[in-house]
Amino acid sequence: MTLILCPECKREISDQAKTCPQCGFPIEKSFKLKSSNWPPTVTPPPLPDLNHDNKNFTSASSKTEKNFNFFNLFWIFLLIFIISVFFFNSSLEDNTTSKSYSTNNNSNEKTKTSISNTNEDIQGDKKLTKEENSENEHLIEKDALIDDQLNEDQVKVAIAFIRLNDYKCDSVSSMAQTRDEKTIRVNCNNYKYKYYINDEGGKWVISLNN
C-alpha cells in the first residue's frame, strides 16, 4: 500500500481508497497514477574519472623526476672528471719530486747547487699552489648574483667546463639556471663574458653570448 496526498485537503491517504476519509473527496484513478510517479526519479551525474587524473599527475611527476636525475648525473660526472685530473696532476708532481731527490743523493758538490735550485723550484711550486687555492677562493665575485639552486661546487664545475672549452672565465659575476634545468647562464669577469651552457639531447654545449 502506498500513501498519496488528497488533492483537496492535502492529507496522506491510501492509494486504495476511493474517497478521502478526511474530507470525502473522490479519488480518481488518474490522480493515483500521477501520485505514484511523484517525485520523479533523477539519475545522478557520473562521477569524475579519478584514474585518468592520477595517470596525468603520475606521468608529469615521472617526467620532472627524469629531468632532475639527468641534470644531477651531469654534475656528478663532470665533478668526477675534474677530481680525476686533479689527482693525476698531484701524482705526477709527486713522482717528479721523488726522482729529483734520488738523483741529488748520488751527485757531487756541483749537484748540491742543483739541489738548492730544486728546493727553490719546489718552494716556487708551493707558492703557485697557494696562489691557485687563493684564486679558487675568489672564483665568485664579491657582489655576484648566484641562483639559489646552484651551490659553490656547481659553480666551480661550470667554470671548469667553460675553461675546458678554451673560453675565459676567471671569476663569476652571475650564474642562473632556467626552470627546466636545461640551460645555465653565466657571466664572467665583471660581466665581460657571457656564456650559455645548454643541454642538447643529452650533450652539453657551451655558446658565447655577444
> Whole-prediction pTM value?
0.36
pLDDT in tens, 52-96: 555 565 566 666 665 656 677 888 888 898 888 888 877 777 666
Cell of 100: 729529483
In the chain, the number of structural domains is 2
Residue 29 belongs to a domain: yes
The domain in which residue 190 lies consists of 140-208
Residue 156 belongs to a domain: yes
Q: In sequence order, which residues have a C-beta less than 8 Å from that of residue 8 and are 6 or more positions away?
A: 20, 23, 25
pLDDT in tens, 8-36: 887 887 777 778 888 888 877 545 545 54
Residue 132 belongs to a domain: no
Sign of CA dihedral 91, 94, 95, 96: positive
pLDDT in tens, 115-140: 454 556 556 555 554 555 455 556 78
Residue 10 corresponds to which amino acid?
K
Residue 194 belongs to a domain: yes
Residue 84 belongs to a domain: no
Q: How far apart are CA 141 and CA 149, in angstroms?
A: 18
Average pLDDT over residues 142-164: 86
Residue 180 belongs to a domain: yes
Q: In sequence order, which residues have a C-beta less than 8 Å from that of residue 20 and are 6 or more positions away?
A: 6, 8, 9, 11, 13, 26, 27
Residue 192 belongs to a domain: yes
Residue 17 belongs to a domain: yes
